[in-house]
Amino acid sequence: MGLFNRKNDVATTTAAPQTVNPALAALTGEYTIDPAHSSIGFTVRHAMVTNVRGSFSDHEGTLRLDGSDPSSSTATIDVKIASVDTGIADRDGHLRSGDFFDAEKFPMMTFRSTTAEQLGGEKYRITGDLTIKDVTRPLSIDLEFNGAATDPYGNERVGFEGSAEILRSEWGLTWNAALETGGVMVSDKVKLNFDISAIKSAA
């Protein structure tokens, strides 16, 4: 069951009538991301030899799914930078400082989708604007639709998981330190990870 229409590469003079999948149409509506059952995290190479993983515990967002025109579906995410957690308090404090996110001056990281497309099967790509500090740049997130279900409390849920890679320097996150053996302390490439559960709003 797809959420987003595949874009047509070749225009046709007569549009074929579209049949809306009833199961897909039933997903139409506004959804609120459930932070208790969602995670937004990152992975970055440290000292050229290992990965450090972290997440942001304070985030919120909305999805608007349109079953009749899935390519019109949208997503917004707001992340509070001060909630960064890598499991090491000193490292988290450094990430909040002016060397990295400067959380006091720029408290939020945001994503606003602009387009959506189907890649095949249940795989999709959402493209939008990611803002970190005072820099806004395009970001594409590859997602997999994990399905829809009604939980024991009667909430209608949808689930997605996905990832994207960025160069942190493109958003002004340039701090680093050289290693005596060559290379740098923190890689420029960062993998972003998304695991989203969203609850449908009451009609």
CA dihedral 57, 75, 140, 43 (to 10 degrees): 10
Where on the phi/psi map is residue 87: left (φ > 0), alpha (ψ -120 to 50), or beta? Answer: left
Instruction: Give the whole-angstrom CA distance, residue 121 versus residue 96.
Output: 39
Tell me the HSE value of 29 on the side-chain side, using a 13 A CA sphere.
Answer: 18
CA dihedral 103, 106, 107, 111 (to 10 degrees): -120
User: Alpha-carbon distance 1 to 87, whole Å?
Assistant: 38
pLDDT at 3: 62
Strand boundaries in the chain, DSSP class E? 29-33, 39-46, 50-56, 59-65, 74-80, 84-85, 108-120, 123-132, 135-150, 156-167, 186-200
pLDDT at 2: 57
pLDDT at 13: 42
Q: Which residue has the tokens 């409390």?
A: 153
Whole-number pLDDT of residue 21: 63
Determine the 3-state secondary structure of 13 from DSSP. Answer: coil
Collapse the DSSP code of 181 into the 3-class scheme (helix H, G, I; strand E, B; otherwise coil) and give the result.
coil
List the chain pLDDT tens, one digit each, 203 residues: 556 544 444 444 444 444 556 766 788 899 999 999 999 999 999 988 999 999 999 999 999 988 677 788 899 999 999 999 999 999 999 999 999 999 999 999 999 999 988 787 788 889 999 999 999 999 999 999 899 999 999 999 999 999 999 999 999 999 999 999 889 999 999 999 999 999 999 86
